[in-house]
């Protein structure tokens, strides 16, 4: 292309346009990022320098004198990170600008090397697999409990972790999620104590738990129970901008130098100042007003759940239900199932979008999941509950898109729990699989082959198959039916997946 001229199409900015169109619709947002587009005027007026009022690009600066340097912080960034460590209860906090993914990658790179073993909860996010590819460590999976009614992973138990640590006393560290995308937290007090009894490193993925330390009705955060590394997704559950996260360290098992060396490899050398500023702002808001703002959103979510659970045909996940299974619940997640009315979560979220201008965080075969943050307004939560009740009252036609057969729906509904309970054999490390020769095969032809890719229904991003694992028939059966029901997968293209040649 000539440097001084370009084709007229280059004058378009389709992503910017798409975002502007979305903003113009003034949709009620029950999804991340946590700042909700700055739509709450009461929040925007809180602070004279609120980023919600300023023009974002004005603050998009770089490492100028006085503005410090993320990779060698000595001034404003160091001070902001120190304040964040104080607010979260960490010894050291790193600002992350490439999402929680880069924190998880760096943490695994910092604590393991090729040939080491890392114990990994079966339901971790694909970012953990990326970390294993980078470090060359062997994953050793431990089981999770699955809830058959909502078809979700509840998480690992103390027993499953103890069995794994007894069988593999040589693991370097243990990774699990707190809470998961549906707001379910394992007993991290028991899990972290167990990890430390075996003198291992506890790495907790709190991509959905950055708000936990700021309200007593929320499940415990990893730092509160002494976890060594906690990656905390400020852009999901605090009002920070997309990609802005924290990595917190506590105790002496992991050195801050090892983490900063790994971050220097993984993270951009051009960190965005608006992202970092949003971490500083989010920390300030959470630390100064988090408790009060979360109280009102927790109350609104409780009222919505009560209303919905009184409505025949609707079921919401509740703290009591989750506690009866031995887990904890984050009440800022609204997980709602209309499956008793034979509606999939996809259908419910389509109707919410089209008829009610409400966008939820995500849907799966059974549920819709709305994420509430301290920025949400009570009236919007009431509107969401009301819209769900109206969907039932209007007896909305059962299936919007008559694309899926009954048997596919039944198979996809029950299939995920079967796959999660079935631990596939790891035939080679994720790194070896990544560097192997690969070929495409149809999903049905993949049974018994070794996966060359991570296969993940997205959202929620929980891995189904990792690189290096033997592909089971429960996984291929599930994938075939789920794809036909509209579940989107990373790692599946045109009904084909990558396997090792």
Interacting residues with ligand PLP between 369 and 408 (CB under 6 A) = none
Binding span for ligand PLP by CB under 6 A among 85-93, 94-102, 263-271, 338-346 = 94-102
Binding span for ligand PLP by CB under 6 A among 204-212, 303-311, 374-382, 481-489 = 204-212
Closest CB to ligand PLP among residues 151, 411: 151
Whole-angstrom Cα distance, residue 229 to residue 223? Answer: 8
Three-state DSSP at 358 gives: strand
Binding residue count for ligand PLP, defined by CB under 6 A: 13
CB of 108 to ligand PLP, least distance (A): 12
Whole-angstrom Cα distance, residue 305 to residue 313? Answer: 13
Q: Which two tokens stand for residue 408?
A: 């596919």
Closest CB to ligand PLP among residues 51, 103: 103
Q: Which two tokens stand for residue 217?
A: 């009705």
CB of 258 to ligand PLP, least distance (A): 21
Q: Which two tokens stand for residue 70?
A: 């993320």
Smallest Cα–Cα separation from 97: which of 138, 50, 139, 63?
63
Whole-angstrom Cα distance, residue 378 to residue 394? Answer: 24
Which residue among 33, 34, 51, 99 contacts ligand PLP (CB under 6 A)? 99
x-or-dash pattern for ligand PLP, window 479-498, by CB under 6 A?
Answer: --------------------
Whole-angstrom Cα distance, residue 482 to residue 196? Answer: 39
Whole-angstrom Cα distance, residue 48 to residue 8? Answer: 41
CB of 242 to ligand PLP, least distance (A): 8
Torsion angle, alpha carbons of 291, 297, 303, 306, to 10: -90
Closest CB to ligand PLP among residues 34, 313: 34
Q: Which two tokens stand for residue 16?
A: 């910017």
CB of 491 to ligand PLP, least distance (A): 15
What is the residue-wise DSSP string for 16-31?
HHHHHHHHHTT-EEES
Closest CB to ligand PLP among residues 117, 125: 125
What is the residue-wise DSSP string for 173-193?
EEEEESS-TTSEE--HHHHHH
Q: Which two tokens stand for residue 170?
A: 């040589």
| CA 88 to chain centroid | 19
Closest CB to ligand PLP among residues 413, 456: 456
Interacting residues with ligand PLP between 238 and 297 (CB under 6 A) = 245
In which residue are the tokens 């138990």 written?
A: 157
Closest CB to ligand PLP among residues 155, 313: 155
Residue nearest to ligand PLP (CB): 99
Closest CB to ligand PLP among residues 125, 449: 125
Which residue among 213, 239, 461, 491 contacts ligand PLP (CB under 6 A)? 461
The total of other beta-carbon atoms located within 10 Å of residue 439's CB is: 11
Closest CB to ligand PLP among residues 461, 468: 461
Residue pair 499/429 in contact (Cβ under 8 Å)? The answer is no
Closest CB to ligand PLP among residues 107, 297: 107
Binding span for ligand PLP by CB under 6 A among 132-140, 200-208, 340-348, 352-360 = 200-208
x-or-dash pattern for ligand PLP, window 145-164, by CB under 6 A?
Answer: --------------------
Which residue among 88, 94, 150, 181 contacts ligand PLP (CB under 6 A)? 181
Closest CB to ligand PLP among residues 246, 396: 246
Interacting residues with ligand PLP between 298 and 327 (CB under 6 A) = none
Whole-angstrom Cα distance, residue 466 to residue 125? Answer: 11
Which residues on neighbouring strands pair with residue 153, listed in sequence order? 146
Element (H, E) at 139: strand 138-142
Residue pair 173/200 in contact (Cβ under 8 Å)? The answer is yes
CB of 104 to ligand PLP, least distance (A): 6
Judged by CB under 6 A, does residue 101 bind ligand PLP? yes
Interacting residues with ligand PLP between 208 and 247 (CB under 6 A) = 208, 233, 245
What is the residue-wise DSSP string for 258-307?
HHHHHHHHHS-SS--HHHHHHHHHHHHHHHHHHHHHHHHHHHHHHHHHHH
The total of other beta-carbon atoms located within 10 Å of residue 340's CB is: 11
Closest CB to ligand PLP among residues 32, 343: 32
Output the 3-class SS for 189-206.
HHHHHHHHHCCCEEEEEE
x-or-dash pattern for ligand PLP, window 118-137, by CB under 6 A?
Answer: -------x-x----------
Closest CB to ligand PLP among residues 39, 102: 102
CB of 26 to ligand PLP, least distance (A): 25
Alpha carbon of 417 to those of 30, 325, 344: distances in Å? 26, 16, 16
CB of 162 to ligand PLP, least distance (A): 23
Whole-angstrom Cα distance, residue 336 to residue 317? Answer: 7
Binding span for ligand PLP by CB under 6 A among 96-104, 300-308, 410-418, 490-498 = 96-104
Alpha carbon of 398 to those of 62, 125, 331, 346, 359: distances in Å? 53, 32, 29, 12, 20
Which stretches of the chain bind ligand PLP, using CB under 6 A? 99-101, 125, 127, 177, 181, 205, 207-208, 233, 245, 461
């Amino acid at each position: 292309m000539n440097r001084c001229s370009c084709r007229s199409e280059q004058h378009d900015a389709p992503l910017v346009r798409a975002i502007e169109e979305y903003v113009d619709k003034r949709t009620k947002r029950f999804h991340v990022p946590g700042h909700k587009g700055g739509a709450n005027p009461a929040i925007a007026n809180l602070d004279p320098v609120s980023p919600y009022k300023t023009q974002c690009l004005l603050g998009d600066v770089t490492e100028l004198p006085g503005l410090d340097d993320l990779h060698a912080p000595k001034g404003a960034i160091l001070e902001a990170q120190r304040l964040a460590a104080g607010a979260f209860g960490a010894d050291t906090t790193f600002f992350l600008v490439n999402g929680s993914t880069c924190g998880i990658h760096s943490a695994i790179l910092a604590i393991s090397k090729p040939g080491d073993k890392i114990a990994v909860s079966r339901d971790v996010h694909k970012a953990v697999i990326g970390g294993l590819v980078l470090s060359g460590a062997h994953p050793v999976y431990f089981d999770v409990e699955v809830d058959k009614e909502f078809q979700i992973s509840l998480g690992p138990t103390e027993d499953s972790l103890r069995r794994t640590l007894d069988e593999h006393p040589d693991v370097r560290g243990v990774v699990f999620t707190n809470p998961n995308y549906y707001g379910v937290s394992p007993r991290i007090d028991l899990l972290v104590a167990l990890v430390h009894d075996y003198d291992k490193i506890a790495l907790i993925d709190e991509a959905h738990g950055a708000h936990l330390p700021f309200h007593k009705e929320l499940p415990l955060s990893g730092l509160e129970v002494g976890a060594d590394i906690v990656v905390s997704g400020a852009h999901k559950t605090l009002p920070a901008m997309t990609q802005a996260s924290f990595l917190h360290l506590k105790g002496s098992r992991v050195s801050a130098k090892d983490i900063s060396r790994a971050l220097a490899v993984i993270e951009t050398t051009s960190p965005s100042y608006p992202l970092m500023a949003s971490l500083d702002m989010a920390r300030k808001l959470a630390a100064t007003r988090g408790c009060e703002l979360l109280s009102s959103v927790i109350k609104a979510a409780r009222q919505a759940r009560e209303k919905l659970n009184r409505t025949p045909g609707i079921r919401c996940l509740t703290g009591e239900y989750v506690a009866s299974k031995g887990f904890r619940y984050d009440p800022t997640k609204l997980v709602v199932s209309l499956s008793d009315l034979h509606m999939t979560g996809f259908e419910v979220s389509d109707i919410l979008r089209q008829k009610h201008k409400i966008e939820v965080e995500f849907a799966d075969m059974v549920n819709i999941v709305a994420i509430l943050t301290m920025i949400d307004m009570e009236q919007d939560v009431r509107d969401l509950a009301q819209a769900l009740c109206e969907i039932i009252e209007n007896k909305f036609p059962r299936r919007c898109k008559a694309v899926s057969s009954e048997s596919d729906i039944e198979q996809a509904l029950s299939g995920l729990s079967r796959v999660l309970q079935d631990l596939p054999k790891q035939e080679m490390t994720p790194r070896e699989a990544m560097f192997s020769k690969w070929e495409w095969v149809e999903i049905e032809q993949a049974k018994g082959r070794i996966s060359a890719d991570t296969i993940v229904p997205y959202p929620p991003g929980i891995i189904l198959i990792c690189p290096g694992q033997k592909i089971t028939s429960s996984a291929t059966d599930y994938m075939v039916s789920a794809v036909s029901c509209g579940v989107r997968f990373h790692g599946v293209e045109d009904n084909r997946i990558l396997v090792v040649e």
